[in-house]
Amino acid sequence: MVLAAQSSQPIVTTHDALAERHLKLVAPPSARLTFGAPSMRPVVDALTRVAKTAATVLLQGESGAGKEVAARMIHQTSPRANQPFIAVNCAVLTGDLVESELFGHERGAFTGAHARRQGRIELADGGTLFLDEVGELAPAVQAKLLRVLQEGRFERVGGSTSITVDVRWVAATNRDLRAMVREGTWREDLYHRLAVFPITLPPLRERREDIVPLAESLVEELSASAGASPRVRLAEATKARLRSEAWRGNVRELRNVLERAMILTDGPVIEPEHLWIEQSGTTLGPAREIDLEGSLAEIERRAIQRALSAANGNRRRAAERLGIGLRTLYEKLKLYDAAGTAS
């Protein structure tokens, strides 16, 4: 069975590829997950079933495991597929900002509120609201969110008029909300409102059958976006190396590693020496001896130089291409005495 969540009409069809033991789920914008491991089959079934309903979904799992992709798939295979999908990253919102983002505000509600502004909940009316990292919400915001979930209405910040909305709620967290309830940092009533249909996405290291098909899918996507011709592919030894890693950062880490590799390779094949993987101290399989052309430090240096060149010397864009923070890039530039490569 192949589920394809597209921007127009969602499609669910049977396919002989079931025998290949992998299931590809596609969700815009160009986000992909390949689910084929036995541990993913109940997840795929749960996503398919709940998408047809209006039930609130709580997606649980480690950072980078694909929760937002799953949320988009729920929306795109639901009766609300042609309505808005609004995503909110609760982890980056603090204080009054989170209330303004969620509920909107009236003109003059606070300093800088020069005009009325619709919040994300209002913008999602008729569609789906995805609350990513919902476990980061402060207790005061939790109480207001509970009311919307219960009653389907709210007021903008600084306003007194109740606004009624019809929203399908999908929340995600990498935190243990039940433990937070026991600790008193999360409302139990809100937990039960969000966890009507909880789904846990297993980490990538627990579904090793998915690593290579997913890597190939990501390389195809990255290759297409970069306009590479011929398209880049993975060497067999590279596939073996990818299967041996623990992938503590899950799909997000895998994507970063492959994007770095595409910066490092000069040809159409990604070899093991092109993989720059930050060591977590854990591998899934037995250690393999990789014939590297030069030290890991030299691989890092080359990757940084090429990223800076591709970004025309813009260090922030180079850091984004490498999948590392700007501060980390500065530290590595200093460490490798590569500051002269930047303009």
Task: Name which residue leads in pLDDT, 16 or 283.
Answer: 283
Task: Name which residue leads in pLDDT, 6 or 335.
Answer: 335
pLDDT band at 225 (very low <50, low <70, confident <90, very high): confident
pLDDT of residue 190: 97
From 154, 183, 202, give the residue that closes a domain. 202
CATH number at residue 241: 1.10.8.60
Q: Is the pTM of this model over 0.85?
A: no
Q: Which residues of 237-264 are buried (b: 16+ CB within 10 A; e: fewer)?
A: ebbebbbbbbbbbbbbbbbbbbbbbbbb
pLDDT band at 337 (very low <50, low <70, confident <90, very high): low
51 and 91: one domain? yes
What value does the mean pLDDT of the chain take? 80
pLDDT of residue 33: 54
The single-letter code of the amino acid at 61 is: G
Which domain does 136 fall in, by range?
A: 37-202
Burial bucket for residue 134 (CB in 10 Å: 0-12, 13-18, 19+): buried
Please write the tens of the pLDDT for every residue from 81-130: 999 999 999 988 776 688 889 999 988 888 888 888 899 999 999 999 99
Q: Is residue 311 part of a domain?
A: yes
Say whether pLDDT at 281 is over 50: no
Distance CA 221, CA 31 (A): 9
pLDDT of residue 29: 33
303 and 232: one domain? yes
107 and 210: one domain? no
